[in-house]
């Protein structure tokens, strides 16, 4: 169901949309205050200058600060940690059986809503901007952004305008709900006009643009400094094409909307685990499985302690060091992240990040799975305790139509459970189509 604000927004012309987005994005200034500036300097020091001993000591202090804060201020942790003396990071193994925090994020079909204090938000933004800063980015750099917000109305489609602009922060948001071939051509024309320095957003959308440029031999009149994928995993073939087409670095990074610690790629092409942002630990230490529990230090509103996020992390040899000079540990690979999408002839490819957002706007959903075997039909399996299936179907269909258009056939199947894959992982999108046949 569309809100009144969304209905009004859709009716105004593009110039007013740009103004509204610019005003709305004044919130970004709140994320870049004193805590942001202090944290940016701290992350820079920790990554490039601190010894491993300093990093470990800082990690332990931050762990104890978070645990004691949670124990004093959070009713759940007051109960669960009662009677446990907390004086070392080693205590984390002793509280293993006490805490069972096992939710899944939006891309697995069930959404966990997260909240941050303003200080935590500024710190997380500083951590992210520190990583991007290694490749020349600064807040206010001219950026093309590809995210899961529905910013373009049918009137805009008719005018071939598939973007809105934040004038103050120099961000142009391109609609990832409109990755159809001819729509992409208009987006590329606009990029040639505004000449962005950076791309940020869903790799599935950025890949679709790169594939179109290469396939049609489209000339681009801008030079990117870097591309920063978000929300979806970056696959090797995507990265190779993006580097080939845009001739710039495409560094990968990992975190989560819930607040997981950061893993990011340095300019030397290696993944580093930022110990100053939190703790990754193997969920099953005596197993070959690499699934991790995460504890994140910038999560004071909703302390994230030993959270089973569902992803796997394979650690490299602790003695192995990177030529960038950082003492932060190296990561071999991040497991369990697979780029998925849904396709419609009307809108083109729609990435998992966009599809996962429909769960946020549909109350009562426990789990969904989107199945696509051809270009004409979508089947959505739904697990819910709400008996009003008609209402849920209506909301889900409205959200899916926003993303896929009006022509594709959408059917719903309400079930008691959706089975996991043989790997033990739940897959939210099962699509038999290859991305190359859809671009």
Report the pLDDT value the prediction gives residue 247, as an integer from 0 to 100.
97
The DSSP output letter for 117 is -
Would you state the structure tokens that stand for residue 222, as one six-digit string?
A: 């801008």
Q: What CATH number was assigned to the domain covering residues 340-438?
A: 3.30.300.30
What is the Cα–Cα distance from 341 to 438, expressed in whole angstroms?
Answer: 10
> How far is the CA of 40 from the CAs of 259, 326, 371, 372, 402, in angstroms?
17, 16, 42, 43, 38
Per-10-residue mean pLDDT for the chain, 439 residues long?
72 84 82 92 96 96 93 87 84 62 45 75 94 96 88 87 94 90 94 97 89 92 96 82 96 83 95 96 80 90 85 87 95 70 88 76 81 95 90 92 93 88 67 78
Q: Facing residues of 382 across strands?
A: 368, 414
**Which pLDDT value is given to residue 110?**
52
Spans of all domains in the chain: 41-121+254-335, 340-438
- Paired strand residues for 367: 383
CB contact burial 207-244 (16+ within 10 A = b; e otherwise): bbbbbbbeeeeeebeeebbbbbbbbbbbbeebbebbee
Distance CA 50, CA 61 (A): 15
Q: How far is CA 387 from CA 55, 122, 359, 364, 419, in A?
A: 52, 41, 17, 10, 21
pLDDT of residue 112: 56
In this prediction, residue 105 carries a pLDDT of 43
Supply 101's token pair.
């925090």
**Cα 198 to Cα 58: distance, rounded to the nearest angstrom:** 32
């Amino acid at each position: 169901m569309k809100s009144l604000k969304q209905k009004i927004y859709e009716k105004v012309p593009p110039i007013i949309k740009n103004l509204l987005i610019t005003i709305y994005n004044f919130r970004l200034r709140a994320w870049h205050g004193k805590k942001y500036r202090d944290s940016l300097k701290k992350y820079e020091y920790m990554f490039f200058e601190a010894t491993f001993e300093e990093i470990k000591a800082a990690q332990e202090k931050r762990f104890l600060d978070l645990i004691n804060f949670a124990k004093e201020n959070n009713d759940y942790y007051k109960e669960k940690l009662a009677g446990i003396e907390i004086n070392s990071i080693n205590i984390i193994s002793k509280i293993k059986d006490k805490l069972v925090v096992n939710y899944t994020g939006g891309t697995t079909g069930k959404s966990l809503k997260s909240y941050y204090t303003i200080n935590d938000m500024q710190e997380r933004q500083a951590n992210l901007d520190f990583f991007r800063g290694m490749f020349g980015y600064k807040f206010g750099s001219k950026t093309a952004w590809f995210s899961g917000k529905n910013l373009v109305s049918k009137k805009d489609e008719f005018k071939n305008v598939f973007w809105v602009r934040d004038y103050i922060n120099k961000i142009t948001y391109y609609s990832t709900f409109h990755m159809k071939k001819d729509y992409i051509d208009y987006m590329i024309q606009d990029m040639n006009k505004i000449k962005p320095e950076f791309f940020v957003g869903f790799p599935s959308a950025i890949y679709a643009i790169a594939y179109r440029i290469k396939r049609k031999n489209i000339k681009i009149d801008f030079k990117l400094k870097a591309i920063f994928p978000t929300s979806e995993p970056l696959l090797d073939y995507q990265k190779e094409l993006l580097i080939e087409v845009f001739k710039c670095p495409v560094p990968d990074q990992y975190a989560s909307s819930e607040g997981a610690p950061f893993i990011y790629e340095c300019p030397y092409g290696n993944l580093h685990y930022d110990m100053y942002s939190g703790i990754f630990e193997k969920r099953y230490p005596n197993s070959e499985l690499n699934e991790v529990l995460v504890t994140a230090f910038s999560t004071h509103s909703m302390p994230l302690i030993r959270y089973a996020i569902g992803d796997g992390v394979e650690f490299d040899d602790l003695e192995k060091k990177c030529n960038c000079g950082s003492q932060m540990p190296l990561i071999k690979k991040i497991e369990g992240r697979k780029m998925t999408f849904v396709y419609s002839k009307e809108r083109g490819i729609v990435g998992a990040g966009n599809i996962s957002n429909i769960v946020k706007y549909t109350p009562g959903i426990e789990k969904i799975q989107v199945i696509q075997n051809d270009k004409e039909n979508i089947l959505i399996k739904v697990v819910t305790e709400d008996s009003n299936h008609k209402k849920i179907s209506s909301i889900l269909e409205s959200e899916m139509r926003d993303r896929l258009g009006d022509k594709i056939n959408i059917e719903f199947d309400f079930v008691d459970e959706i089975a996991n894959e043989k790997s033990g992982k739940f897959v939210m999108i099962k699509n038999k189509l290859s991305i190359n046949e859809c671009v």
